[in-house]
Amino acid sequence: MSLIEAPRSPAIQRRKKRGINWEKWGWIYMRASGVVLIVLIFGHLFVNLVAGEGVNAIDFAFVAGKLADPFWVVWDTLLLWLALIHGANGIRTIINDYANQPVVRRILLGAVAVSTAVLLILGTLVIYTFDPCPAGSPADLLPSFCPVP
Amino acid sequence: MSNAVMESKPSVPDEIPTFTATLIIRRFDPDVDTEPRWQDFDVELHGTDRVLDALHKIKWEQDGSLTFRRSCAHGVCGSDAMRINGRNRLACKTLIKDLDISQPIYVEAIKGLPLEKDLVVDMEPFFDSFKSVNPFLMAGGLPKDGKERKQSPVERARFDDTTKCILCAACTSSCPVFWTDGQYFGPAAIVNAHRFIFDSRDENAQVRLDILNDKEGVWRCRTTFNCTDACPRGIQVTQAIAEVKQAILRGKP
């Protein structure tokens, strides 16, 4: 008794995958970051717009005060990286869906990658190097809460 | 001696009420047209008629050149999937009275597959992706008792939903990712992979999971639920795709 062979080989020979499966990890990233972002974004909105005096409290001193607290530094860094990469990955999938010409697709994907990288670097730089009272500045340019030299 | 005499005349049914519906059909004749065009037909119909009956009336009484596929005409063969009022439906399962006949009924071929004539599309790309997920039982060797591969009702129920597929392409051609990109397997292929991945008798689930873990595999699904809405057999297509995704993440069915 012999078994019948598989009736047909796959019509489309798909190329062998190698290395990391970015499509899978991209999908997992979207789910994982999405869950974390719900907490981060609504926490951010609540603290900025509702808690205490609400939206009226937002000014330069409010931001300076938040960025002086290590808790909010970590919070904002997570928010920046997770949200930006989440958004960039979403745009990447849309480009993959709708940009059919290889050249156009490559240009658009490159533009998304570059702008995301620039924004990430700039944002991180601001979060970690922000100093509301830079030393040596003229006193009339400094906000009122800075210690008078 | 008594004759069986009819006491009263049989009640002759009154004339069955009819109504006129307007169908606007997207026509394309490759010998004449360079672009598809919309043509409208007024058809006299009964309350029990389906869109397929309206198409038959047009073909038989008004314009014999109208071209469409149908075989069983009872929702089993899956030949007459088409876009009716912008939604993918089987023409033989869509009652005219369920549509709003104060408005014209728009009928066109399913999207995303090459249009051949009127309501007929080339189904080969659809069947190619169906074939590429190995939609057949892959079980090596002989069954344990040498006779049959047994399966409990619970094991059978695991993939019952996806056995109902009739390959009409209504789901695949309702998927926006399939419209934009001919590479995506499409919901129907994943449904048929699901049917064997979760079959306890099948031994090659891993092969199918690897095929669907591809760039053009399940990860392109955006869970828009168009496929679940389109399925004439009521298969929970999006859920089946989600189960395949989870199986890929687990590494086993």
Q: What is the pLDDT of residues B67-81, one digit of tens each?
A: 999 999 999 999 999
- Rounded-to-10 torsion of CA B73, B75, B80, B84: 110
Taking CB atoms and an 8 Å limit, are B142 and A26 in contact across chains?
Answer: no
Q: Tell me, what's the pLDDT at A8? A: 44
Nearest to A97 among B180, B211, B217 (CB): B180
**B134 Cβ under 8 Å from any chain A Cβ:** yes
Q: Which of B160, B165, B159, B161 is nearest to B126 (CA)?
A: B165
Q: Strand B87-90 and strand B115-117: pairing?
A: unpaired
Q: Pick the more confident residue, A65 or A149.
A: A65
Tokens of B185: 């397997």
Is B215 a residue whose pLDDT tops 90?
Answer: no
Cα separation values, B198 from B86, B163, B194, B242, Å: 33, 11, 6, 13
- What average pLDDT score do residues A117-142 get? 86
Q: Is the dihedral of CA B176, B241, A81, A45 positive or negative?
A: positive
Q: Report the percentage of chain A scoring pLDDT > 70.
A: 87
Tokens of B61: 């009484």
Is A10 a residue whose pLDDT tops 50?
Answer: no
Distance, CA of B94 to CA of B87 (rounded, Å): 11
- pTM equals 0.83
Distance, CA of B46 to CA of B97 (rounded, Å): 9
Cβ-Cβ contacts under 8 Å, B220 against chain A:
23, 93, 97
- What average pLDDT score do residues A76-104 get? 92
Q: Pick the more confident residue, A7 or B142.
A: B142
| CB contact at 8 A, B133 and B190 | yes
Which pLDDT band holds residue B36 (cuts at 50, 70, 90)?
Answer: very high
In angstroms, the separation between the Cα of residue A34 and the nearest Cα of chain B is 15
Taking CB atoms and an 8 Å limit, are A10 and B248 in contact across chains?
Answer: no
- For residue B20, give every residue at least 6 positions away whose Cβ sits within 8 Å of its Cβ, in sequence order, or none: B42, B43, B44, B45
Nearest to B136 among A6, A93, A98 (CB): A6
Which pLDDT band holds residue B196 (cuts at 50, 70, 90)?
Answer: very high
**B173 Cβ under 8 Å from any chain A Cβ:** no
Nearest to B219 among A8, A10, A24 (CB): A24
| β-bridge mates for residue A101, sequence order | none
Q: What is the pLDDT of residues B84-110, one digit of tens each?
A: 999 999 999 999 989 998 999 999 999
Q: Tell me, what's the pLDDT at A144? A: 76
Cβ-Cβ contacts under 8 Å, B245 against chain A:
27
Longest dimension (CA), chain A: 97
Burial (0-12, 13-18, 19+ Cβ within 10 Å), B180: middle
Q: What is the pLDDT of residues A15-33, one digit of tens each?
A: 555 677 888 899 999 999 9
Average pLDDT, chain B: 91
Distance, CA of B34 to CA of A53 (rounded, Å): 66
First to last CA, chain A: 97
In angstroms, the separation between the Cα of residue A11 and the nearest Cα of chain B is 6
Size of interface A-B (CB pairs under 8 A): 52
Nearest to A97 among B136, B138, B177 (CB): B177
Q: Tell me, what's the pLDDT at A59? A: 84
Tell me how far the alpha carbon of residue A32 is from its chain's centroid: 13
Cβ-Cβ contacts under 8 Å, B217 against chain A:
23
Which pLDDT band holds residue A14 (cuts at 50, 70, 90)?
Answer: low
Which residue type is seen at A149?
P
Q: Is the dihedral of CA B39, B169, B85, B61 positive or negative?
A: positive
